């Protein structure tokens, strides 16, 4: 098994646009494209046209680079730079500069395994780009339909008489692989789907063991084994159960599909709570409805306690219960009204010894641990922390009574920075860092990095798109600067 690659990205509301295989573009009847070298099944993420002698500074990776060879002086060096930049394929237009694709270019592409496509004179580059965007839109629509159908299938399975095996079977069927429910001791409790090689089964069990029942441990991890893509997800039922998934490939919408299964299985496998838990729930309800803290302190048990306010989720009825399970508490108010009149916040109560970590799809505000007679103040602190988190775009903000230096824990800042900046490649992150350090100066950034100012603009625009943030917002700039400094 390869080393686990860390937590899986959290399931989003919609999958990203899938890449389009070059073969689909080659098969387009109106373009007349012809593959001259390299494989025809590489994935294309976007298209870019450049007539620069060295296109490296202008490429993001994964694109179909189109050129007519206006400044093609050294084909071998040109191909080397294109490959180093991570371009997926090269498309060469045979007019107006060349009547045929240069043989030296074909040889260089074949040597480096870079797909080379001939674009005939009758086909403008814009037609190729338009065809690629249309294919990507169609692929995204198919993926959205697949995810929707899978969600409906899982919900139907959860309503059957034996819901846990039914949900596992539906998940395995939709992913075209194997789904396994592991017990807290690592043994296989239930499984569904096609059999996998012994090496893959062993690797999946080891990956599930990486999660384990440890409080505050990772919620998911991924890896490879036996030629398959593997992933494990900790369920929130409190029994230390883990869901393992083995598939031949991993589609853009698979995280969303598995996320729904994790929520359903967490609810279906949660143990029945005893009378003492019911007493604590009742105490929390009475406290939130205005009872004097002294009246409920005995029922809540020994303190201190941590109050958490949260807003977000996937919009399903299970969202608040899933969040409570992930944080390890049954004490949740799914429809509370926060101090100050803010509605829609989920409010949770945890023992102070339980760690509160960022949760995908949620924005959290955390109060200072407090005894039962101080929970009202802690409730207000958590509400203010949630408002700060929403204002700054942070996943989690804790209330700190100290000065500015005490507001950010270094380990938490580093973890948040890794999560926030995960969509950015190294060159994009470095460009963003230099650009922010120079107060958004395009020319000074270009000089400092020895690249063209248009490249700076393209990369910053790409950063904004990947992060989903408005880089003109000073709050966003401040958060990104601290994240880049905390990596």
pLDDT digits (tens, 9 = 90+) for 67-77: 999 999 999 99
In a domain, 457, yes or no: yes
Contacts 24+ apart (CB under 8 A), 266-269: 266/235, 266/236, 266/237, 266/321, 266/322, 266/325, 267/237, 267/318, 267/321, 267/322, 267/325, 268/158, 268/163, 268/164, 268/167, 269/164, 269/181, 269/235, 269/237, 269/239, 269/241
Q: What integer pLDDT is reported at residue 384 of this predicted model?
A: 86
What is the C-alpha separation between 364 and 366, in angstroms, rounded? Answer: 6
The pLDDT of 83-104, averaged and rounded, is 92
Q: pLDDT tens-digit profile of 428-442?
A: 999 999 999 888 899
The residue from 241, 269, 297 where one domain ends is: 269
Both 98 and 153 in one domain: the answer is: no
In a domain, 25, yes or no: no
Using an 8 Å Cβ cutoff, are 336 and 347 in contact? yes
Torsion of Cα atoms, 398 then 317 then 305 then 271, to 10°: -130
In a domain, 6, yes or no: no
Q: pLDDT tens-digit profile of 277-310?
A: 555 555 555 554 455 656 655 656 667 889 999 9
Residue with more model confidence, 338 or 252 = 252
Strand order across the beta sheet in which 34-37 lies: 34-37, 116-119, 89-93, 63-67, 46-49
In a domain, 336, yes or no: yes
In a domain, 24, yes or no: no
CA neighbours closer than 13 Å in the CB half-sphere of residue 3: 2
What is the C-alpha separation between 132 and 135, in angstroms, rounded? Answer: 5
Both 328 and 397 in one domain: the answer is: yes
What is the C-alpha separation between 264 and 236, in angstroms, rounded? Answer: 10
Q: What integer pLDDT is reported at residue 405 of this predicted model?
A: 40
What is the C-alpha separation between 209 and 227, in angstroms, rounded? Answer: 20
Both 263 and 281 in one domain: the answer is: no
Q: pLDDT tens-digit profile of 457-487?
A: 999 999 999 988 888 888 888 888 888 887 7
In a domain, 384, yes or no: yes
Both 58 and 104 in one domain: the answer is: yes
Using an 8 Å Cβ cutoff, are 416 and 483 in contact? yes
State the pLDDT confidence band at 340, using cuts at 50, 70 and 90: very low
State which residues form the domain around 93.
34-122
Using an 8 Å Cβ cutoff, are 477 and 471 in contact? yes
In a domain, 139, yes or no: no
Is the pTM higher than 0.75? The answer reads: no
Least confident interval from 22-26, 125-129, 189-193: 189-193
In a domain, 252, yes or no: yes
């Amino acid at each position: 098994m390869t080393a686990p690659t860390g937590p899986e990205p959290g399931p989003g509301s919609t999958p990203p646009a899938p890449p389009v295989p070059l073969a689909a573009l080659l098969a387009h009847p109106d373009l007349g494209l012809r593959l001259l070298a390299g494989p025809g099944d590489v994935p294309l993420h976007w298209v870019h046209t450049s007539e620069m002698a060295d296109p490296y500074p202008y490429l993001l990776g994964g694109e179909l680079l189109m050129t007519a060879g206006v400044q093609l002086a050294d084909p071998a060096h040109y191909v080397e730079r294109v490959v180093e930049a991570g371009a997926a394929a090269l498309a060469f237009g045979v007019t107006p500069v060349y009547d045929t694709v240069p043989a030296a270019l074909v040889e260089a592409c074949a040597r480096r395994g870079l797909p080379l496509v001939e674009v005939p004179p009758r086909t403008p580059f814009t037609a190729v780009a338009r065809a690629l965007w249309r294919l990507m839109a169609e692929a995204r629509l198919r993926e959205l339909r697949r995810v929707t159908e899978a969600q409906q299938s899982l919900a139907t399975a959860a309503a059957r008489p034996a819901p846990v095996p039914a949900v596992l079977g539906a998940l395995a069927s939709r992913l075209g692989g194997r789904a396994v429910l592991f017990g807290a001791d690592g043994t296989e409790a239930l499984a569904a789907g096609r059999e996998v090689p012994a090496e893959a089964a062993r690797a999946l069990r080891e990956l599930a063991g990486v999660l384990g029942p440890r409080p505050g441990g990772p919620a998911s991890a991924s890896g490879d084994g036996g030629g398959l893509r593997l992933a494990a997800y900790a369920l929130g039922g409190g029994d230390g159960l883990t869901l393992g998934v083995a598939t031949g490939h991993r589609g853009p919408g698979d995280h969303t599909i598995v996320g729904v299964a994790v929520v359903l299985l967490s609810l279906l496998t949660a143990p029945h709570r005893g009378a003492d838990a019911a007493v604590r729930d009742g105490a929390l309800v009475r406290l939130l409805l205005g009872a004097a803290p002294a009246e409920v302190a005995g029922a809540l048990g020994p303190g201190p306690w941590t109050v958490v306010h949260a807003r977000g989720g996937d919009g399903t009825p299970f969202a608040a219960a899933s969040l409570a399970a992930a944080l390890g508490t049954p004490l949740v108010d799914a429809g509370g009204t926060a101090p100050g009149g803010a509605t829609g916040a989920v409010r949770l109560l945890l023992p102070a010894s339980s760690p509160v970590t960022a949760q995908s799809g949620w924005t959290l505000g955390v109060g200072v641990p407090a005894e039962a007679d101080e929970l009202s103040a802690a409730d207000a602190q958590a509400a203010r922390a949630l408002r700060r988190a929403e204002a700054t775009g942070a996943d989690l903000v804790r209330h700190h009574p100290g000065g500015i230096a005490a507001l950010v824990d270094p380990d938490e800042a580093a973890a948040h920075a890794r999560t926030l900046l995960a969509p950015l490649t190294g060159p994009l992150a470095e460009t963003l860092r230099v650009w922010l350090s120079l107060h958004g100066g395009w020319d000074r950034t270009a000089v400092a990095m020895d690249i063209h100012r248009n490249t700076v603009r393209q990369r910053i625009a790409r950063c904004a798109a990947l992060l989903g943030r408005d880089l003109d917002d000073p709050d966003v700039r401040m958060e990104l600067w601290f994240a880049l400094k905390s990596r």
